[in-house]
Amino acid sequence: MFKSAVIKLTLWYVVLALSLSLSFSGILFYFAHNEIKEGLDRQYNELTINEKDTVRSPRIISANLKESTQHLTADFMLLNVVVVIGASFFGYILAKRTLKPIEEAHDALNRFSMEASHELKTPLTSIRAATETVLITNDTVNYQKTLQDNLEDINKLDRLTSYLLQVAQNGYDAPHSLNESMNIKTLIMESIKSHQTLIKKHNLKIIKDLQPLQIEANYFSLNQLVNIILDNAIKYNQKNGTIIIATKTEKAKLLIRIEDSGIGINKSDLKNIYNLFYRSKHSSQLNGFGVGLYLAHQIVARHKGKIDIKSKVNKGTVVQVWLPLKPKK
């Protein structure tokens, strides 16, 4: 969209530059033509005064005027060609610079919409799954517990909505605080708890090896990162499968490792998994929008970290994330 807009704006710059150039060329041509004609007339008049000089006839002067006019026209045409080429080159650069803030704002709005949609989806899915389970089983004993769990998810949605409103007011690309201290074990345990209904629904076994490490980061972003990876590990896992979650320090960095026994990712798809809206054919039968890993990659990059995904079809996927224990200055 913006590429075509740049081209259109460039064309407008070229048309404007050419219009100005042709206008000035016309004016200059008019005055130059008159100056040449008057000069040739003076020359003819001076020659007729002196009888010894060969007097040029008006026909010769007319031929000289025509020749000079042709040269003048060619020069102005060449000038306008140069103007068109120069206006095209510099107009394209100027158009890109002019539209860049608009493009960045558009991209920021898209990222904000995707982040909001993805974050709203997780608790809503949890509420729906828990409610459907109780209604199907008609388990009156668990009604109260289900309502309590749903209330917790609703409270999370309320906090999330407040955050999104704050982001909307301050701008998506406003600086995020990376100095919030948190315990990674506590954060991951909260994420597991929020996915508990889905974990039970798929009858998954969670193996935890979590060290209570302190890290300084943006709490919401880090919570979102863990939720995205855990959500994928649940969604793309096999029935009665396993998820292994571990944390440790490695070379002065926090390593978060989440491994599942799911359907895996084709080798040919691994290079594209961080692309926006990309979904492999292997997972096309499952619900998803190809947004989660894109957001995860953005969050890791924002924290100056690294993410690596290894996978084998029908064997499972291993996601490893390295994050600085303290934000880099």
**One-letter amino acid for residue 263 of the chain:** I
Mean pLDDT of 92-119: 73
pLDDT at 172: 47
The tens digit of pLDDT for each residue in 202-236 reads 889 999 999 999 999 888 889 889 988 998 899 88
Average pLDDT (247-276) is 85
d(CA 210, CA 205): 15
The domain defined by 180-329 folds into Heat Shock Protein 90 (3.30.565)
| Triad 164, 165, 168: Cα angle to 5° | 85
Highest mean pLDDT (candidates 110-114, 128-132, 152-156): 128-132
β-strands 316-324, 253-260 pairing: antiparallel
* Residue 156 pLDDT exceeds 50: yes
Higher pLDDT among residues 175 and 321, named by residue: 321
Determine the residue type at 221.
S
Distances (CA, A) of 219 to 61, 195, 222, 320: 87, 18, 5, 19
Of 323, 301, 295, 141, give the one whose Cα is nearest residue 224: 295
Mean pLDDT (the chain, rounded): 78
Q: State how far the Cα of 202 lies from the Cα of 232, in Å rounded to an integer.
A: 13
- At residue 208, the pLDDT reads 93
Measured in degrees and rounded to the nearest 5, phi and psi for residue 13 equal: -65, -40
The CA-CA-CA angle for residues 275, 277, 283, to 5°, reads 100
Beta bridge partners of residue 306, listed in sequence order: 322
User: Which stretch of 192-201, 224-233, 263-272 has the lowest confidence by average pLDDT?
Assistant: 263-272
Inform me whether the pLDDT recorded for 99 exceeds 70.
yes
Residue 97 predicted with pLDDT over 90: no
State how far the alpha carbon of 311 is from the alpha carbons of 143, 145, 239, 264, 316, in Å.
39, 37, 18, 5, 6
Kindly list the domain boundaries of the chain, sorted by start residue. 2-106, 180-329
